[in-house]
């Protein structure tokens, strides 16, 4: 029984590691998106400087609006968050082991150490699941901001391409 619980704990710890890596991956994507958005903002400033037609000017006003809001969402996605991590050396575990030993020592027919080990593995599994849930909430928020930033970037790109074509015609 303990072997199965240990395997399950290792699987949960691997999932916990993946949830932390996902946060890092979302940060990288948001950073790349921010670079694209800053390029679009610079491009819009260039187009305004070129004196586009009325149609091109309005496309750039709308593009600048989309770009500005997308930049805000990218910054919100990158905003630092405190992830829930396991503590390297925690008094909680030491105290829990003492509690479990005291609990199982009250029944002389029980073997103490295997029961303590099994209960501690169950506790560690529960604690890891709680950390994963807390970190996933943070990642969902990052992901939502990143999605909004992406979907606002698409029309900004299209409008900048339209302005570029309008400037080529002139």
The string of pLDDT tens digits covering residues 42-97 is: 999 999 898 878 888 899 999 999 999 999 999 999 988 887 777 666 677 677 77
State percent of the chain over pLDDT 90: 39
Confidence of residue 152 (pLDDT cuts 50, 70, 90): very high
CA distance 70 to 159: 14
Confidence of residue 2 (pLDDT cuts 50, 70, 90): low
Q: What is the pLDDT of residue 88?
A: 65
Q: What is the pLDDT of residue 150?
A: 96
* CA-based torsion, 97, 125, 14, 25: positive or negative: negative
Mean local confidence (pLDDT), 142-149: 95
Q: Cα 157 vs. chain centroid, distance in angstroms?
A: 25
Mean local confidence (pLDDT), 122-129: 84
CB 146 within 8 A of CB 43: no
What long-range pairs does 1-9 form, CB within 8 A, spacing at least 24? 1/118, 2/114, 2/117, 2/118, 2/121, 5/118, 5/121, 5/122, 5/125, 6/121, 8/125, 9/121, 9/124, 9/125, 9/128
pLDDT for residue 1 is more than 70: no
Overall pTM surpassing 0.85 (yes/no): no
CB 43 within 8 A of CB 67: no
Selection from 142, 144, 156 nearest residue 37 by Cα: 156
CA distance 166 to 47: 10
CB 7 within 8 A of CB 125: no
């Amino acid at each position: 029984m303990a072997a199965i619980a240990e395997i399950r704990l290792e699987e949960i710890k691997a999932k916990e590691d993946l949830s932390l890596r996902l946060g890092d991956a979302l940060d990288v994507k948001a950073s790349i998106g921010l670079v694209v958005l800053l390029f679009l903002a610079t491009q819009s400033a260039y187009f305004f400087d070129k004196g586009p037609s009325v149609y091109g000017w309005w496309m750039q006003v709308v593009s600048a609006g989309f770009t500005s809001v997308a930049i805000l969402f990218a910054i919100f996605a990158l905003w630092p968050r405190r992830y829930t991590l396991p503590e390297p050396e925690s008094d909680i575990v030491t105290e829990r082991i003492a509690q479990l030993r005291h609990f199982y020592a009250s029944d002389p027919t029980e073997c103490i150490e295997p029961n303590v080990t099994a209960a501690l593995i169950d506790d560690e599994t529960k604690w890891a699941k709680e950390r994963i849930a807390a970190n996933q909430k943070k990642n969902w928020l990052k992901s939502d901001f990143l999605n909004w930033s992406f979907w606002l970037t698409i029309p900004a790109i299209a409008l900048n391409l339209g302005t570029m074509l309008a400037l080529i015609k002139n």
